[in-house]
Amino acid sequence: MALDKDRNRVLTALRAQPEGLDSATLAQALALTHDVVERHLTYCADYALAHWIRKKDGSGRAMITDRGRDYLARQSL
């Protein structure tokens, strides 16, 4: 359950920033570890909920996709 909640928090944060956010900024803003944010971004990218190219320094910009917006709408978020 916590995994879905944190994943939804990541997607919601991306939805609020149309220009996208990097994983380091997301981790800081959501008070999650960088590893946790990257795990959720990897999942979201794998399922086309977000577009993200991983960079080791955390600078890779992530952006929510239309499918990600639909996912959040189905979750009533």
Query: Which residue range is the domain that position 11 belongs to?
Result: 2-74
pLDDT reported for residue 58: 62
How do residues 17-55 score in pLDDT, each as one tens digit?
A: 989 999 999 999 999 999 999 999 999 999 999 999 887
Instruction: Please give the sequence-ordered ranges of beta strands (E in DSSP) within the chain, or none if there are none.
Output: 21-22, 50-52, 61-64
Confidence check: pLDDT of 2 > 60: no
Query: Looking at residue 38, which CATH number applies to its domain?
Result: 1.10.10.10
Least confident interval from 13-22, 39-48, 56-65, 66-75: 56-65
The reported pTM is: 0.88
Sign of CA dihedral 49, 18, 1, 32: positive
Number of domains in the chain: 1
pLDDT reported for residue 1: 42
pLDDT reported for residue 68: 96
